[in-house]
Amino acid sequence: MADNPEFYRARADEERRNGDAALLDNVRDRCRRAEKAWDEMASRAERTQVLRAAREAAPPGGERMMIGTPSMVAAE
């Protein structure tokens, strides 16, 4: 389960369905909050996978990927 975006997206979908089916406002609100939290976890897990892949593909020799930039920079 750790860092599995598909699992997180599935849980978000489940909470979305639960919210759509809820009769009570407070239950619907709780489901929407849970859906948002699962979506955020999925986004973080996807970003982690991208950064991990970039780090593993980086050439050896002290270079690293700067967060938010597509280019490589020398480590300080």
The per-residue pLDDT for range 8-61, each reduced to its tens digit, is: 999 999 999 999 999 999 999 999 999 999 999 999 999 999 999 998 888 876
pTM: 0.71
Cα–Cα distance between 67 and 6 in angstroms, integer? 23
DSSP H stretches of helix in the chain: 5-21, 25-57
How far is CA 61 from each of CA 36, 57, 76, rounded to the nearest angstrom?
40, 12, 12
Q: Which residue bears the tokens 């599995």?
A: 4
Token pair listed for 67: 């967060």
Which sequence spans correspond to the domains of the chain?
Answer: 5-74
